[in-house]
Amino acid sequence: MRSLLLLLIGCVFSPMLLSQGAATASGWLVDDFNSGALAPRWSIVAGKWNAGEQAVSVAGAGDQFGMLASQYFMRTKPYVIEATVKGVGGGVMFCAEYPNMFENSHVVYLTGTAVSTGYMDFHGKYAETRVVDYIAPSGFVKLRVSVDPIKRTYAISVQGQDVVLEELRYISGYVGLFSRKAGAQFDYLQVTGEGTPEAPSFYRKSNNRQLDHLSYMAIMEDAIYISNPVVGIVQRLTSIGTFSSEIGLEGAHADPRGLCVDEDKWLYVIDGSSKSLVIYNHEGVRQTVVSENLKDPRGVAATAGVVYVLDVDGIKVFDRKGTFSGAKAAGLFKDPKNIFSAHGMLYVADYGNGQVQILDKGDFSVRKVIKDPLVGPFDVSADLQTRDIYVADPVAGVVFHFNDGGDFVERIDPMTIKGFISPRGVRVRGSMIYVADFERILGFKKGVLAIRPALKID
């Protein structure tokens, strides 16, 4: 029942090794699906998952089914995922950014004639990276994925036979089951590793640079400020990536989002968990927390004592003390992501409408709309010298460059390092363009081979 003959691709590799001895490995996540019902840890992503007495099966329409466990696996230790799969299309998901979504995750599944490896992109579409043929056995098949986030690789074996070694695109996240077809069955899933898994809270105040699911970034002189939603902190780095300082937001589940630094070096941070704006002075001392009049804030811009918070339903205006002065641009955006202030204008990444809107700070009238070739803009920045506009678009997978009139100039896409992972933030300082690319920062020299990054911080 469990025999398998593998037809391997003609390449030689050394798979990642991780001790599985009882003395060193421990069960980080174990489920044999024998209870007759799914444990509370599971979140259904798609499909109907039915728990029987000895296995869980998937049913429903569509070509992507999944469920993820609630435990988050940090990028700090290697671990091994093992599952037994029966039927065509079954496999595993891992390093998923969210506990209830396909987006930004790795996938390995059995097609019936091959092992397919790939990843889900920013909008949950499967991108296949490799197919390895094999003769499919009947019955349950043991699938093993050895994940090494430190080396950024994962090794796959089927029925104890090594298949292939792949590169990790994403290095931390949630683990679960996946299938491309209804009818697949699974009779257990386990994740094992040495010692105990490290929780995100363990990494607060670590005095180390931490780039985890990087989506928001700000620039001030030689400093790069980044939000880390995984561990709930804001960090200050030098322009070459050296750790400088760290600010931990209050609350066990802080979710720092947009942030900015004004001309007086005051820091403004959006906390998505508490739906608030947190203001720190130039010494990093918290001054006030603003939550009234905010519904679902995403980004923030501040200049000359005025603070502009991009909320889900428009722009909310405050002073530095947190006093509310009005709601503007109501109903103008659809799922906006970030805001930037320069040249008397407010630049808004209007993600849901697939465009960037440029508003006058005085009366909040729309001065310009940039649409093509944008797909899903997440962040926008303007060059303080040239007034050129840069837009990070993770759906398109590139950074778009426009002139000050909104005319398209170029695509920035680092082809030499296998492209962006998920570019969500962009800021300009002097001759450099900095891109927040999920778990790294890439720096590009303006006007010098935009496809070749001059700086990589990870």
Q: Could you report the per-residue pLDDT of 309-343, keeping only the tens digit for each?
A: 999 999 999 999 999 999 999 999 999 999 999 99
Determine the pLDDT at residue 415.
Answer: 79
pLDDT tens figures, 145-173: 999 999 999 999 999 999 999 999 999 99
Q: What is the rounded CA–CA span in Å between residue 90 and residue 95?
A: 17
Q: What is the rounded CA–CA span in Å between residue 127 and residue 456?
A: 25
Q: What is the DSSP track for 89-111?
A: TEEEEEEESSTT--SSEEEEEE-
Do 436 and 420 touch, CB atoms closer than 8 A? no
Total count of residues recorded for the chain: 458
Q: What is the rounded CA–CA span in Å between residue 48 and residue 67?
A: 9
Q: Which CATH class is domain 5-194?
A: mainly beta
Do 197 and 79 touch, CB atoms closer than 8 A? yes
Report which secondary-structure segment, H or E, holds 115: strand 114-120
Q: What is the rounded CA–CA span in Å between residue 2 and residue 80?
A: 20
Determine the pLDDT at residue 24.
Answer: 53
Determine the pLDDT at residue 54.
Answer: 87
Contacts of 447 (CB under 8 A, 6+ apart): none
For range 432-448, the mean pLDDT: 92
Determine the pLDDT at residue 454.
Answer: 87
Determine the pLDDT at residue 136.
Answer: 67
pLDDT tens figures, 245-264: 998 888 778 999 999 999 99
pLDDT tens figures, 338-367: 999 999 999 999 999 999 999 999 999 999
Q: What is the rounded CA–CA span in Å between residue 150 and residue 316?
A: 42
Cα–Cα–Cα angle for 66, 70, 76, nearest 5°? 105
DSSP helix/strand/coil, 162 = strand
For range 369-389, the mean pLDDT: 97
Q: What is the rounded CA–CA span in Å between residue 323 and residue 317?
A: 8
Determine the pLDDT at residue 17.
Answer: 37
pLDDT above 50 (res 15): no
Contacts of 448 (CB under 8 A, 6+ apart): 454
Tokens 């969500």 belong to 424
The structure tokens listed for 411 are 């695509």
Determine the pLDDT at residue 5.
Answer: 34
Chosen CATH of 200-457 out of 1.10.3720.10, 2.120.10.30, 3.90.1140.10, 3.40.50.720: 2.120.10.30
pLDDT tens figures, 194-231: 999 988 877 777 778 899 999 999 999 889 999 999 99
Q: What percent of the chain has pLDDT over 70?
A: 94
The per-residue b/e assignment along 212-239, b for 16 or more CB within 10 angstroms, e otherwise, is bbbbbbbbbeebbbbbbbbbbbbbbbeb
Q: What is the pTM of this model?
A: 0.90
Q: What are the residue boundaries of the structural domains of the chain, listed by start?
A: 5-194, 200-457
The per-residue b/e assignment along 69-84, b for 16 or more CB within 10 angstroms, e otherwise, is beebbbbebbbbbbbb
Determine the pLDDT at residue 303.
Answer: 95
Determine the pLDDT at residue 278.
Answer: 97
Q: What is the rounded CA–CA span in Å between residue 175 and residue 161?
A: 22
Q: What is the rounded CA–CA span in Å between residue 427 and residue 441?
A: 11
Is there a common fold for 5-194 and 200-457? no
What average pLDDT does the structure give for the chain? 91
Cα torsion through 447, 451, 455, 456, rounded to 10: 160
Determine the pLDDT at residue 14.
Answer: 37
Beta-strand relationship, 408-412 and 398-402: antiparallel
pLDDT tens figures, 366-378: 999 999 999 999 9
448 or 389, higher pLDDT: 389
Cα-only R_g, the chain: 23
Q: DSSP letter for 14, please.
A: -
